[in-house]
Structure 1
Amino acid sequence: MGMANKRKTIEESAGPGRSLIRPQTLADIERREPDSKEIWYGHSILTSTLFPPTQPSTDTDFVSKTNGTLEYVLEAGIDPEERKRKFPYGKYPRLIMAWIAKQIRTAGKMKTEYVDPQTRTITIPSIWQMCNELGLQRGGKTADKIQEQLRLLLSSHITIRKTTGFSGGKMHDMISLPIVEAVRFKESDTNAAFSGSAFVLTKEVYERLARESAPFDTRASSLLLSGRSVLPYDTYVWLTGSMRNLRHDLPVTWDWLYERFGDSISSKQNFRAKFRKALAKVRDVYPSVHVSVDEKGVTLHPSPTAIAARHLIDGEYVDAAVAQDVPEAVDPASNPTSNQYDSPSENGGK
């Protein structure tokens, strides 16, 4: 498919007024590397698949995702405005969490307008400013939706579970992981764009976003989120994070993929078709990714990450050759609850 046809296909699927984060073209992605403002950070659980694509039914107690030996469980909090339990869902929690990860990685150890690393405080001066940072329209229904999803996100609760089998039984380990320790909302009665918030992230969430998130190109995510489905975006974030540590071919079954990405898709057969389409869109914006598909599932082949030539160390981008001499900041073996980003060798996809 030619470049013009690729752009036309994506524009038609997006529909008028539905693109996010400043519309960018495939030609621009191919022509140049992203600048620092266009590099955000994604975690395939905390910034994407943990959040359902649509609002679950009212009788849903929780949603969960498995990552290796760990299970992430999301429970809806009580919306302080509506006084009802509602899940954060769709594209906006994904964008908000990726933006938070970006600000944490950019800040490093230095206090910025948005992040105080000493206290793990994130400040959003106004929804207007947040929409501007996300590249969204700065008012009306968009501001209302961002404000609502931010409330739902910060009210929700995560539990990380690990089950270990042994002769004659099993052992369950659980970590309670609220997203925030404290939060203050400032809401305007006349214009949601003037509302804002400040919140203290829990240590676990802050450190996971700082340590385990992988860089991605927001020009790509803008195209992948321009349609109704979040599946292309979730697939993109998963693949670029998985390729970071992949050293050998790795088969991943359709069952594993359906469990991870198949929320709200009625059947595995339907999911396979949708996943193939999502993967095709990912290849348009991430042409260096090498993934093969067959009847058993997909096979990941070692590939560059979406942002292959840059590494972030204490808030600074350096060449890959320099970064190779820097030791790992955290040894996962020193903490049994710690988990690397989403290494396919650990994801149980075989």
Structure 2
Amino acid sequence: MDKSSGDSNMDSQRPFTGTDVPVESIDEVLDLRRPKQVPKWVQEAIEAHLEIEREDAKSAGSLGFMHRALVNASMPYKDPKSRIFERKNGNFTLTIMAGYHGGIPYGIYPRLLMSWVSTEVVRTNSPELELGDSLASFLRDVLDLERGGGKRGSSTRVTEQMKRLFGASITATGTGQSNRRFQLRNMSVVSEVDLDEVEFERRLAGSGYEAEPASEGAASADEVQLWTPQASGHHGWKSRVLLTEYFFNELRSSPVPIDLRAYRALRGSPLAMDVYTWLTFRNSYLQRPSGLIRWEVLMNQLGSGYSTPRAVLDFKRNFLQALNAVLIVYPQAKVAVAEKGIILHPSPPHIPKGTQQGLPGF
């Protein structure tokens, strides 16, 4: 659905994979050859790549999924300080309207929440999810959450973003090439939510628990699967969410598979998280080079908060930094970087097709 066009100056382009440096010298953005400049989250991306090479996502218990619409047009990275937020991808427009007084969901937390919701739907084949130990354990492992709430506590920030995400109204609109055809789809995430904030934050912070002693021969913390499925028949805490019929059916019919290890490693940059899911989705159906996808188009689809005269240049710089990190965990992706944009070359998706076979409904 990306709006592409040809470019006469193609000599400056060359495909690259892995951590090869593209033409637009990514050295100016993030020099991975200088350890003192490598952020912690990029180091984690390198470690995740080594894990992914050793074991596939399904065997490692880290096979995850995302909703297709939120891959094509993502949520904001910073608080937009408004009640309405829009993303454009060609003739497709995603509009998020705040239903909760706190505002629009933004940053890494709603992205991680969506990965949990999407993955749990595919795994359980149920539109009703319990917001219990599975979600709390997942977020603790992914975020290395500090113990504590309050205004600055991670637990409080997660619950705030959960209310923003579940309270948001999301619509997708599209027009035909002649602009005389209009399509609209209401695609909000949930129809009902019942959340006990105090209990969820207690569970998220890990308070009130005593860890069971490890049995002889038990797996170490590093060997435990990232995903902890919902326990069946649980009769305790009943915070829950009921997904809308459209959102649930769309996830069941066309989920976008991701490797949760890669997604977790990229959590230091919401843009890198979005570039990762977008690339693996595009590569799931790309049969020939995409044609030039201009920086302006990518900025409308994946950027936010760029309003200065240097907006496109600033986005380009940030995108290349994110792309360089993504290619550490997803080196199979082939991307050519040119002066005016990028070209995607046919590459395998990060999760091989058919991996979800054997899960409920597949």
Give the shorter-chain TM-score range.
0.7 to 0.9
Deviation at 1:218, TM superposition (A): 1.7
Give the match for residue 322 of structure 1. none
Give the match for residue 167 of structure 2. 155
Give the match for residue 320 of structure 2. 276
Paired with 1:7 and 1:316, the residues of 2 have a C-alpha distance of 44
Two-structure CA RMSD over aligned residues (Å): 3.3
Deviation at 1:179, TM superposition (A): 1.9
User: Which residue of 82, 105, 115 maps to 1:98?
Assistant: 115
Give the match for residue 142 of structure 1. 154
For the structure 1 residues 10 and 164, does the alpha-carbon distance in structure 2 shift closer, same or farther, using more than 3 Å as the test?
farther
User: Which residue of 162, 172, 182 maps to 2:192?
Assistant: 182
Give CA deviations for 1:26-61 in whole Å, capped at 9, x if unaligned: 32233332235211112464268531101112xx24
User: Which residue of 74, 77, 94 maps to 2:96?
Assistant: 74
Structure 2 unaligned residues grouped into runs of 5+: 1-18, 21-30, 205-236
For residue 240 of structure 1, give the secondary structure of its aligned residue in structure 2: helix
Give the match for residue 277 of structure 2. 237
Larger C-alpha radius of gyration, 1 or 2?
2
User: Which residue of 263, 271, 287 maps to 1:247?
Assistant: 287
Counterpart of 2:240, as a letter, is A
Contact 2:145 2:154 in 1 (8 A): yes
Contact 1:71 1:161 in 2 (8 A): yes
Give the match for residue 81 of structure 1. none
Contact 1:71 1:160 in 2 (8 A): yes
Deviation at 1:213, TM superposition (A): 2.4
Paired with 1:217 and 1:10, the residues of 2 have a C-alpha distance of 28
Paired with 2:261 and 2:200, the residues of 1 have a C-alpha distance of 33
User: Which residue of 38, 49, 62 maps to 1:26?
Assistant: 49
Deviation at 1:7, TM superposition (A): 10
Deviation at 1:187, TM superposition (A): 2.5
For the structure 1 residues 293 and 165, does the alpha-carbon distance in structure 2 shift closer, same or farther, using more than 3 Å as the test?
closer
Paired with 1:54 and 1:192, the residues of 2 have a C-alpha distance of 26
2:334 counterpart of 1:312: no
Paired with 1:91 and 1:85, the residues of 2 have a C-alpha distance of 17
TM-score when scaled to structure 1? 0.73
Paired with 2:304 and 2:68, the residues of 1 have a C-alpha distance of 14
Deviation at 1:15, TM superposition (A): 7.0
Give the match for residue 39 of structure 1. 63
Deviation at 1:199, TM superposition (A): 1.4
Contact 1:125 1:197 in 2 (8 A): yes
Greater Cα offset, 30-39 or 251-260:
30-39
Counterpart of 1:286, as a letter, is Y
Contact 1:213 1:241 in 2 (8 A): no
Counterpart of 2:78, as a letter, is T
Give the match for residue 176 of structure 2. 164
Contact 2:174 2:183 in 1 (8 A): yes
Contact 2:102 2:160 in 1 (8 A): no
Paired with 2:35 and 2:52, the residues of 1 have a C-alpha distance of 16
Counterpart of 1:75, as a letter, is M
User: Which residue of 334, 337, 343 maps to 1:290?
Assistant: 334
* Percent sequence identity over aligned pairs: 25
For residue 180 of structure 2, give the secondary structure of its aligned residue in structure 1: strand
Give the match for residue 233 of structure 2. none
Deviation at 1:273, TM superposition (A): 1.4
User: Which residue of 236, 241, 246 maps to 1:204?
Assistant: 246
For the structure 1 residues 247 and 25, does the alpha-carbon distance in structure 2 shift closer, same or farther, using more than 3 Å as the test?
closer
Deviation at 1:315, TM superposition (A): 1.0
Contact 1:232 1:278 in 2 (8 A): yes
Paired with 2:200 and 2:66, the residues of 1 have a C-alpha distance of 34
2:65 counterpart of 1:65: no
2:271 counterpart of 1:259: no
Structure of greater relative contact order (alpha carbons < 8 Å, 6+ residues apart) = 2
Structure 1 unaligned residues grouped into runs of 5+: 79-83, 109-116, 318-328, 330-350
For the structure 1 residues 54 and 199, does the alpha-carbon distance in structure 2 shift closer, same or farther, using more than 3 Å as the test?
same
Counterpart of 1:262, as a letter, is G
2:60 counterpart of 1:52: no
Deviation at 1:214, TM superposition (A): 1.7
How many pairs does the alignment contain? 292
Contact 1:248 1:301 in 2 (8 A): yes
Paired with 2:304 and 2:136, the residues of 1 have a C-alpha distance of 31
For the structure 1 residues 186 and 71, does the alpha-carbon distance in structure 2 shift closer, same or farther, using more than 3 Å as the test?
same
Paired with 2:273 and 2:185, the residues of 1 have a C-alpha distance of 28
Paired with 2:52 and 2:128, the residues of 1 have a C-alpha distance of 33
TM-score when scaled to structure 2? 0.71
Contact 1:24 1:219 in 2 (8 A): no
Paired with 2:280 and 2:241, the residues of 1 have a C-alpha distance of 29
